[in-house]
Structure 1
Amino acid sequence: MDTVAIAAKGISVSVDLAVGHLADMTVDIDGRRLKPLHRAPWVGEPRETLPKDLPEGTVHLSGDFLCAPFSVSDVEAAPLHGWPANSRWDVVDSAATADGWRAVFRLQRPVMGATVDKILTLRDDHPFLYQEHVFSGGAGVIPVAHHPMTVMTAGGRLAFSPKRLAATPNEAPEPDPARGRSLLAYPARSTDLTRFPAANGGTIDLTAYRMDQEREDFVTLVEADHGGPGWTALARQAEADLVLVLKNPAELPVTMLWVSNGGRDYAPWSGRHRGVLGIEDGRTAVGHAASLGDNWLKREGVATAFALSEGRSFSFRHVIGALPWPSGEPRDVTTSPGRMRILAADDAVRDIVFDSDFLRIGRSVPA
């Protein structure tokens, strides 16, 4: 694997340049070494043992990557999740800073005519990766999403910033029982994340990741208006840590959850992709054409793409972090200048260093 690594005090990240995926992320904190991100079990296996038509992004599936578009590329021809997730990136710059490390990567292929840059920043003693993607030039409209994946050996508990509703698409990821299984109802929606309609007529708690539920499911959460950062926190039970994913809701108004727990029986998944959760913050519907058309999110007043324009650029930011956590999901996550405060279910408080200015909460975002 052709990777490049960057590091600051207490944190390191490596990037798979073949596809721009984060190949690994390590956080050293409180005497522990945490690895919040997932790598598919087939990564590194001989290519000839994998299906010939498998997209390169799935061959290298790991960590986090940029989707542009998210899901099906049915406007500009490209593999699943677009060229940013499936083709080569170059290192433009990588150097130490006064308080950490900053690296810039550029996608070799244009997206709808736009140049795409990935900027990764690590700060000394911050247990967070700060990411920014910049699209320059081009024409048309492009939906985008991050695709961070974590993995658990014994499940975990989820908590979120306030969400307006959760909804599944029209069709399940695995509707054919000969190939796999999904447990949520499709289509369905709920304003109660602990009681989402299930395919069997009952309900499923979206805040609980259970290892005994073999399934492949996908659900979109729409951010409520609350004035703060959007966040997802996953307390991994066996790992005894907290994985945190943060965004600016004005930039990325939806969070899509991909539950992949032994729910696909065909290669390369073959029932071995277990305990994986994708926490996919985006400005998108499912698919490029769907994001441009009259989709259900637009009818809810939610933006599903950015406009490209020659001579102009836009960017969006994202944060991934991890810290030790005894048990149970947090009750709340708030930020103040230079800090993040996490409130536990037992009212215990954890304060950690955080670049509270990075997400630019409150700035206006062009459509």
Structure 2
Amino acid sequence: MDTCTIKAKGISVSLDLTVGHIADMTVESGGRQLKPLHRAPWVDSGEALPTDLPQGTVRLSGDFLCAPFSRSDVEEAPLHGWTANSAWDVTESNATDGGWRTVFRLRHKVMGASVDKILTLRDGHPFLYQEHVFSGGSGAISVAHHPMTVMKGGGRLAFSPKRFAATLDDPLEPDPTRGRFMLAYPARSADLGRFPAAGGGTLDLTQYRMEDRREDFVTLVEADHGGPGWTALARQAEDDLVLVLKNPAELPITMLWLSNGGRDYAPWSGRHVGVLGIEDGRSAVGHAASIGDNWLKREGVATAFALGEGRGFSFRHVIGALSLSGGTPPREITTADGRMRLSTGGSPSDVPFDSTFLRIGQPVAA
């Protein structure tokens, strides 16, 4: 595997250059080495895989950029676009004052735009700071990050304030001979603890239970709260806390992919278990839907960035891990003065964090 590994004190990240997926992320916290990200069991296994799989599924790992998110039905490209399925080159890689910064360039153009991926690590910070920069091109593009974590014993979730959660018109696996699902489709709820279930009643979106074999997908729309958007997952067996943060003005939705043995066909084969995708985006499902009329736009939610010759845009994202969960995710996360404060109801915990990175309150390109 062609990888590039970067390190700072207490953290290392490896990027699979063949597809732009994070192949490994290791954080030293509380005297332990934490691995917050998932890698599909078939990657580099040597087993025969279906020949029609996109490379992004063949090498499904960690986190990757989707551009567009889901179907590439405007410009010909694989599922989730060339950003998730083709090669990236290292264009810069240098030590910084207290860390490391590496820039990667996608070999393909996306709607005529060049795409750069910038990964930054800081000494003593248990976080990967990411930025993606699009330059030039024409039309519009939807985007999403696709971080995936994995659990052996389930976990508990908490979120920054959301307006509501909603499912699509149809489930990911409607055919019971191929898979299964547990949420109702379509459905909507402002209470994340009481989301309509397929068989009647409700399910709690803040609980990930290993006994719930399912393939579900639900979109959370950020509320207007003035702070960073965040998802926190307290993994029970791992006894740690996985954190994913964004600027809601850039990425206004968080899509949860609950993949827990809910697909019976290859390469999933019922073995893709305990996986949670925490997919922050500016997107509907599919490129054409994102740039056309869609249900999110009717809710006032942006679903694409505009491209243009001589112009560009960028967006930022953060992934981290801490060994201080105690089985309970924080009720509140605030960032200021180079620190992150996590409040659980008892004594708050502070960790180093670049509180200027997400650029909250600054204008965002359309």
Deviations 1:42-89 (A, max 9, x none): 000226x00000000000000000000000000001100000000000
Is residue 28 of structure 1 aligned with residue 28 of structure 2? yes
Deviations 1:153-205 (A, max 9, x none): 00000000000000001110000000000110111100000000011011110
Aligned match of 2:93: 94
- Which consecutive unaligned segments of at least 5 residues does structure 1 have? none
- Distance, in Å, in 1 between the alignment partners of 2:105 and 2:61 is 19
Report the alpha carbon displacement of residue 366 of structure 1 after superposing the two structures with TM. 2.0
Aligned match of 2:192: 193
Which residue identity does 1:210 align to in structure 2? R
Secondary structure of 2:233's counterpart equals strand
- Distance, in Å, in 1 between the alignment partners of 2:217 and 2:249 is 22
- Distance, in Å, in 2 between the alignment partners of 1:360 and 1:98 is 20
Is residue 352 of structure 1 aligned with residue 348 of structure 2? no
Q: Which runs of 4+ in 1 moved over 4 A?
A: none
Secondary structure of 1:311's counterpart equals coil
Larger mean CA deviation between 91-100 and 297-306 belongs to 91-100
Which residue identity does 1:212 align to in structure 2? E
Aligned match of 2:244: 245
Secondary structure of 2:102's counterpart equals strand
Aligned match of 1:13: 13
Which residue identity does 1:7 align to in structure 2? K
Aligned match of 1:340: 340
Report the alpha carbon displacement of residue 96 of structure 1 after superposing the two structures with TM. 1.1
Which residue identity does 1:191 align to in structure 2? A
Which residue identity does 1:5 align to in structure 2? T
Which residue identity does 2:266 align to in structure 1? A
Secondary structure of 2:310's counterpart equals strand
Aligned match of 2:275: 276
Aligned match of 1:145: 144
Which residue identity does 2:22 align to in structure 1? L
Aligned match of 2:54: 55
Deviations 1:270-313 (A, max 9, x none): 00000000000000000000101111100000000000000111
Aligned match of 1:364: 363
Which residue identity does 1:146 align to in structure 2? H
Aligned match of 1:111: 110
Which residue identity does 1:292 align to in structure 2? I
- Distance, in Å, in 2 between the alignment partners of 1:307 and 1:337 is 33
- Distance, in Å, in 2 between the alignment partners of 1:90 and 1:329 is 37
Secondary structure of 1:64's counterpart equals coil
Aligned match of 1:259: 258
Aligned match of 1:162: 161
Aligned match of 1:68: 67
Secondary structure of 2:311's counterpart equals strand
- Distance, in Å, in 1 between the alignment partners of 2:191 and 2:3 is 42
Q: How does 1:287-366 map to 2 (within 5 A)?
A: 287-324=286-323, 325-344=325-344, 346-366=345-365
Q: TM-score, length-normalised on structure 2?
A: 0.99
Q: TM-score, length-normalised on structure 1?
A: 0.99
- Which consecutive unaligned segments of at least 5 residues does structure 2 have? none
Secondary structure of 2:309's counterpart equals strand
Is residue 41 of structure 1 aligned with residue 59 of structure 2? no
- Distance, in Å, in 2 between the alignment partners of 1:63 and 1:319 is 13
